[in-house]
Amino acid sequence: MRAPLSWLREYVDLPAAVTGRELAARLIDAGLEVETVDRAGADITGPLVVGEVLAIEELTGFKKPIRYCRVDVGRANGSGEPQNIVCGAVNFAVGDRVVVILPGGVLPGGFQIGARKTYGHLSEGMICSVSELGIGEDHDGILVLPPDAEIGADAIELLGLRDDVLDIAITPDRSYCLSIRGIAREAAIAYGAAFTDPAAVELPAEADASGEAYPASIADPSACDRFVLREVRGFDPAAQTPLWMRVRLHRAGMRPVSLAVDVTNYLMLELGQPLHAFDRAKLTGPIVVRRAEAGESLETLDHVKRTLDPEDILITDASGPISMAGTMGGLATEIDGASTDMVVEAAHFDAIGTARMSRRHRLHSEASYRFERGVDRELPLYASYRAARMLAELGGAEIVAGVTHAQAPAPPVAITMPAGHPDRVAGVAYGRDTVVRRLEQVGCAVEGGETLTVAPPSWRPDLTDPNDLAEEVIRLEGYENIPARAPRPVAGRGLTVEQRTRRRVGRALAGAGYVEVLSFPFASERDWDDLQLPADDPRRTALRLANPLSEDEPLLRTTLLPGLLRALARNLGRGFGDVGLYELGLVFRPREGAPAKAPRLRVDRGPTPEEIASVDAALPDQPLRVAVVLSGEREPSGWWGPGRPGIWADAIETARTVAREVGVELAVRADRHEPWHPGRCAALYAGGTLVGHAGELHPRVIKAYGLPARTCAMELEMRRLGEPRLPRSPKVSTYPVATQDVALVVGADVPAGEVEGALREGAGDLLESIRLFDLYTGEQVGEGRKSLAYTLRFRAPDRTLTAEEASAARDAAVAVAADRTGATLRGA
Amino acid sequence: MSAPNKSYDPVEVSALQPEELDRARDEALAAIASAADLDALKRARLAHAGDRSPLALANREIGALPPQARAEAGKRIGAARGAVGQALKARQAELEEERDQRVLVEEAVDVTLPWERGARGARHPLTTIRERMADVFVSMGFEVSEGPEVEAEWFNFDALNFKPDHPARTMQDTFFVGSEDTGLVLRTHTSPLQIRSLLTKPLPVYVVAPGRTYRTDELDATHSPVFHQLEGLVVDEGITMADLRGGIDAFVNGMFGEGLTTRMRPSYFPFTEPSAEVDMRCFVCRGASAEPGGEPCRTCSSEGWIELGGCGMVNPRVLVACGIDPDRYSGWAFGLGIDRTLMFRHGAEDMHDMMEGDVRFTLPFGMEI
């Protein structure tokens, strides 16, 4: 809502020295979000005066018509001689009063005007258009003033070229401030200044209201509880909107259209009551306010033919729908350039009804914006009367006596509240008198002693609860006067196990050289294809957004990999190919058999556990996952020697890094699982639970995402790792170690993990550690075989091992390996 | 070795002549003194103090002397060998010192050589600042509350007093999941965690709820469809706006520095009543930039204040929807943008940088901020 200071001053008696910025500061303290104060015309410098065109010489020989004018500016130029001015507009005649800026003056935007030679003549200034003056958008012609404008008068003052305009973002609870009336009321309270209600006009006495009135009725009181019509006749369609009104509309951000339309817009801005004018001649039969019937349609003013929904609120006559209530009028009954007789409508439509209608039709108007936030129910009689009067005064119309006033009863609102409630909300002792005074200031009727009965004013439909009233008191007493009370210490239990684990996992991965990414969780079917997921892969079952930002990514991720791979490709594109990235985030897995809709529980009491469960059952499973992608070198080459590319084993190691933070050692088994390379994919197990996969990506996946060859990845689900275990303190033996090396030859396809597992098992309790120190394939072991060389370290907790004991343990280990994997001692 | 002689013939044992001994000693000392390095000294040691050295051989001959001559000869040889031994030891130390000096110089390296062998990693600053912010609350005894990102509308809107069809509901540009009537959305704020906390935790409730949130904004320098919020919630007996102020001040002082003040402006949120926007004193210029003649401040655009977030007293309707008696309990809530906090606290200027995963953006933030 844009509110010019000059307009506000008309209804609030502000001290003369108050500027827009000062007022803005006060209004912000009172709860209005003043976003900017536009100091319109602040940069204008005179002389900018009224002149009369004395003579016009049409210059020829130019591409467009050019006029050389003599303009009388009175004594404004010091000499009293007429000014010679070249002008490119032709919409004026000799004798017209115009606005002239004399050399030395500055127009809005800092345009300095000097005497200069143009089109072969010296132009001593400029004749101005509304857009040049900053009071309109019309570039086509210069501004012609009414003939009574005094020659030589200061046009800055005359036209109100300087004005501060407050641009205020009105929060949904303060719909009354979608009007000059409401903002002026707040300004009056803020300054303790007198307020004049622009709606408080004296209506014609009932006796005079007995004339003919256009028949109207409300068929659905849930749609509309007040409907007022007034008629005017004999309106002059040629009547122009006065300049002052055009300036105000422009300052408020609306375009002047025609007098009839401008009057309704002007009063909507001033009062907050949307108004609509019908061409009387285009109406047939009585008007009825009702809901739409199936199959009805209406072509609205924006030339869109709309199919109506049975919930839509309509104004209808004998011909059918003529207007979408409080949203947009119909084209067929529109005021046009020949309309002389009008029916002005001012009504109070249901907020929810208009909100739904405007959303359903994606039709948002100034009117619907106000109705869906709440309009003063008492305004229609007054606003319609002011409209009729303005049409009479400015457009020569005659007001038809009488008024149509249909209404449905609206229950009175009364809030009961202990007088001390605002004190208890704020933690400040205001006292009953202050509470009552502040509530009365905002327009409430207050009764009672210790318990107050408060009737909010008609323009405050937002006031429904004691806390709403408390807020009124507290904001007017000033939020800045609320003290700060230091927090009382409470007994919290700190972070949960999961929260601490997640932090540790992040630190461990970052410590291992991976950079965290927070990618958008949006994905597409193409991702599933790019990841080579089979048709029946559960990861293809994804939730779809009803309104995705991009139709290219309408799904919610079921795996972290697409986002990470895209981030990897982005880094690659920016010249960083040796990169490891990780992400910790939720994936979204629809639950089989979940209800299609989450129930909307009532809010007037707490839900039962069953009700909460019924809501949660509709939610997808949203487990936390961790994933890593890496490409290029893990260790770069340098003066120290060659580097080391990141390989499948690095990816598996990241999984181990994660698992160790939970105190779990992962078991690794070869697997085939998309999007991994079928021969370089590890399934990761914690105990018997599959927690995820790691390895090198399938070459087709790498190609699809535009990644370097041999890009690797890991993804696992945190909860499958289980609860972090309390580490048990080890017993540290101080007896010497006995080391034994064994080289075992096995079939090339025997997993090293199995051999190691067998050795471990066979070696028994004396085994302290086992380490594979060599892997050999080649002639010496024969085709289809490989040699695995291990160092086994044995140690006893209570004695020095003898060579015999160590050898026996080694032999036992080898025996189990031989039994399980067919291993033979190399060279044996 | 020759056996002891029974007869004494000094001629036969000329090696024991004092002159011979002196000569052998002097030769030894000269060789030691002239040994240029440890190898030469080693040779000199072998030649003059080794088993086959003249003095060693002479020593063997002592047994051939008549008993009465042995003591004196032994004394002379002992003196000579002692002198040689000492000279060797001294020269050895000298040469070792020389060698050490030389070798340590020769072994010098260029310590300015780079050693970027391991990959560097970092946590995302939105993660670490979120933890930092939450930890300030945790230090006050709050617990961290988390929940689903695909959320039921009842939690995201209804229970928070967003009435159906109320404009406040459409103000938040919501992603709907499935279709517009499944009752599922991507949570538009972290406030559903207020409801989840109040429904699951025993009263009183002191929680801080950080998390990812979603609105249908295109990604640009200052907007992102995916962003992050954090909110604190207190529901207890006798909670007032003074507690709200005190809680926010404590957070601001813990997060941005001691002595920073805050101010509140009335505002509107469906789930709080009264509601306010909160600003805090700029932690860089502390308001000086807004004073006449003050140095300009980039952090607060010389406003002196930084917009922090929204807050208010928990709307009693929210308590009712959670089954809490609003006559007995009251509470406050305070929420702010984590992304925005990162922007003004660390001078991050573009949301793209935070969301795109460019390692150059993230690496400098390290493990904690």
Mean pLDDT across B213-224: 94
Side chain identity at residue A435, one-letter code: V
Which residues of chain B does A571 touch, with a Cβ-Cβ cutoff of 8 Å? Answer: 357-359
Task: Report residue B61 CA to chain centroid gap.
Answer: 74
CB contact under 8 A, B266 and A29: yes
Considering only residues A220 and B55, tell me which one the structure prediction assigns the higher pLDDT. Answer: A220
Which residues of chain B does A435 touch, with a Cβ-Cβ cutoff of 8 Å? Answer: none
What are the φ and ψ backbone dihedral angles of A189, each rounded to 5 degrees?
A: -65, -40
Q: What CA–CA distance (Å, rounded) separates A336 from A571?
A: 61
Q: Which helix (H) or strand (E) holds B60?
A: helix B54-61
Is the CB of residue A375 less than 8 Å from the CB of residue A175? yes
Residue A487 has its nearest CB partner, among B250, B266, B356, at: B250
* Confidence check: pLDDT of B154 > 90: yes
Dihedral angle at the C-alpha atoms of B148, B152, B158, B162, nearest 10 degrees? Answer: 70
Q: What's the gap in Å between the CA of A676 and the closest CA on chain B?
A: 23
Q: What CA–CA distance (Å, rounded) separates B17 from B72?
A: 11
What are the pLDDT digits (tens) for A681-712? 999 999 999 999 999 999 999 999 999 999 99
Is the CB of residue B246 less than 8 Å from the CB of residue A484? yes
* Ranges under pLDDT 50 in chain A: none
| Closest-CA residue of chain A to B237 | A424
Q: What CA–CA distance (Å, rounded) separates A232 from A280?
A: 9
| Closest-CA residue of chain A to B130 | A503
Q: What CA–CA distance (Å, rounded) separates A567 from A356?
A: 41
Is the CB of residue A560 less than 8 Å from the CB of residue A700? no
Strand A676-686 versus strand A689-697 pairing type = antiparallel
| Closest-CA residue of chain A to B187 | A619
CB contact under 8 A, B240 and A548: no
Which residues of chain B does A373 touch, with a Cβ-Cβ cutoff of 8 Å? Answer: 167
CB contact under 8 A, A513 and B118: yes
Strand A275-279 versus strand A342-349 pairing type = antiparallel
Eight-class DSSP state of B6: S
| Closest-CA residue of chain B to A556 | B177
Strand intervals (E) in A395-535: 398-399, 404-407, 415-418, 445-448, 451-455, 515-516, 522-523
CB contact under 8 A, A604 and B158: no
CB contact under 8 A, B140 and A636: no
Eight-class DSSP state of A281: G
CB contact under 8 A, B140 and A490: yes
CB contact under 8 A, A512 and B154: no
Strand intervals (E) in B325-365: 329-337
CB contact under 8 A, B240 and A586: no
Which residues of chain A does B313 touch, with a Cβ-Cβ cutoff of 8 Å? Answer: 425, 467
CB contact under 8 A, B121 and A580: yes
Is the CB of residue B155 less than 8 Å from the CB of residue B192? yes
Question: In terms of DSSP H, where are the helices of A69-160?
Answer: 130-133, 155-159
Residue B152 has its nearest CB partner, among A486, A509, A598, at: A598
- B144, B162, B267, B315: best to mutate for the A interface, most A CBs within 10 A: B267
- B154, B174, B216, B264: best to mutate for the A interface, most A CBs within 10 A: B154
- Asked casually if ipTM beats, i.e. exceeds, 0.95, the reply is no
- B212, B356, B361: best to mutate for the A interface, most A CBs within 10 A: B356
CB contact under 8 A, A639 and B124: no
| Closest-CA residue of chain B to A491 | B141
Check residue A326 and give left, alpha or beta (phi > 0: left; psi -120 to 50: alpha): left
Eight-class DSSP state of B122: B
Q: What's the gap in Å between the CA of B259 and the closest CA on chain A?
A: 13
Q: Is B307 exposed, middle or buried (0-12, 13-18, 19+ CB in 10 A)?
A: middle
Dihedral angle at the C-alpha atoms of A731, A734, A738, A742, nearest 10 degrees? Answer: 30
Is the CB of residue B150 less than 8 Å from the CB of residue B191? no
Instruction: Give the sheet arrangement for strand A712-717, strand by strand.
Output: A515-516, A579-586, A624-631, A712-717, A689-697, A676-686, A667-670
CB atoms near residue A209 (< 10 Å) = 16
CB contact under 8 A, B144 and A619: no
CB contact under 8 A, A543 and B158: no
Question: DSSP 3-state assignment of A97?
Answer: strand
CB contact under 8 A, B313 and A519: no
Q: What CA–CA distance (Å, rounded) separates A638 from A594?
A: 56
Task: Give chain B's end-to-end CA distance (angstroms, integer).
Answer: 83
Residue B141 has its nearest CB partner, among A427, A490, A622, at: A490
- A33, A471, A476: best to mutate for the B interface, most B CBs within 10 A: A471
Which residues of chain B does A173 touch, with a Cβ-Cβ cutoff of 8 Å? Answer: 268
CB atoms near residue A576 (< 10 Å) = 16
CB contact under 8 A, A487 and B320: no
Is the CB of residue A234 less than 8 Å from the CB of residue A341? yes
What are the pLDDT digits (tens) for B269-300? 999 999 999 999 999 999 999 999 999 999 99
Which residues of chain A does B355 touch, with a Cβ-Cβ cutoff of 8 Å? Answer: 518-520
Question: Domains of chain A (ranges plus CATH)?
Answer: 2-42+164-191 (3.30.56.10), 48-161 (2.40.50.140), 205-407 (3.50.40.10), 431-481 (3.30.56.10), 497-595+611-721 (3.30.930.10), 738-825 (3.30.70.380)
Strand A287-291 versus strand A216-218 pairing type = parallel
Which residues of chain B does A601 touch, with a Cβ-Cβ cutoff of 8 Å? Answer: 154, 158-159
| Structure confidence at residue B1 (pLDDT) | 45
Side chain identity at residue A581, one-letter code: L
Tokens 């007037």 — which residue? A604
| Structure confidence at residue A655 (pLDDT) | 98
Is the CB of residue B33 less than 8 Å from the CB of residue B91? yes
Q: What CA–CA distance (Å, rounded) separates A723 from A726?
A: 9
Q: What CA–CA distance (Å, rounded) separates B186 from A733?
A: 56
| Closest-CA residue of chain B to A511 | B121
Residue A619 has its nearest CB partner, among B141, B148, B216, at: B148
Residue B241 has its nearest CB partner, among A172, A482, A490, at: A482
CB contact under 8 A, B265 and A479: yes
**B273 labelled binding-site residue:** yes
Which residues of chain B does A30 touch, with a Cβ-Cβ cutoff of 8 Å? Answer: 266
Which residues of chain A does B114 touch, with a Cβ-Cβ cutoff of 8 Å? Answer: 638-639
Q: What CA–CA distance (Å, rounded) separates B274 from A422?
A: 10
Q: What CA–CA distance (Å, rounded) separates B119 from B101?
A: 38
Q: What's the gap in Å between the CA of B299 and the closest CA on chain A?
A: 19
**Cis geometry, peptide bond prior to residue A675 (ω within 30 degrees of 0):** yes
CB contact under 8 A, B323 and A495: no
| Structure confidence at residue B9 (pLDDT) | 53
Predicted TM-score (pTM) of this structure: 0.88
Side chain identity at residue A528, one-letter code: W
CB contact under 8 A, A514 and B121: yes
Is the CB of residue A725 less than 8 Å from the CB of residue A666? no
Which residues of chain B does A574 touch, with a Cβ-Cβ cutoff of 8 Å? Answer: 358, 360
Is the CB of residue A306 less than 8 Å from the CB of residue A300? yes
Question: DSSP 3-state assignment of A782?
Answer: coil
CB contact under 8 A, B249 and A28: no
Q: Which helix (H) or strand (E) holds A347?
A: strand A342-349
- String of b and e for A216-248 (b: at least 16 CB within 10 Å)? bebeeeebbbbbbbbbbeebeeeeebebebbbb
Question: DSSP 3-state assignment of B351?
Answer: helix
**Cis geometry, peptide bond prior to residue B274 (ω within 30 degrees of 0):** yes
Q: What is the mean pLDDT of chain B?
A: 91
| Closest-CA residue of chain B to A636 | B117
Residue B355 has its nearest CB partner, among A28, A493, A520, at: A520
Structure tokens at A666: 């992962």
CB contact under 8 A, A510 and B122: yes
Q: What CA–CA distance (Å, rounded) separates B84 from B23?
A: 12
* Confidence check: pLDDT of B314 > 90: yes
Is the CB of residue A782 less than 8 Å from the CB of residue A748? no
| Structure confidence at residue B7 (pLDDT) | 53
Q: What CA–CA distance (Å, rounded) separates A193 from A216?
A: 41
Residue B240 has its nearest CB partner, among A426, A516, A636, at: A426
Strand intervals (E) in chain B: 143-144, 150-152, 184-186, 205-214, 226-237, 262-269, 272-281, 305-314, 329-337
Task: Give chain A's end-to-end CA distance (angstroms, integer).
Answer: 93
Using alpha carbons, list the distances in angstroms from residue B302 to A69, A817, B294, B296: 50, 74, 8, 5
| Structure confidence at residue B21 (pLDDT) | 84
| Closest-CA residue of chain A to B118 | A635
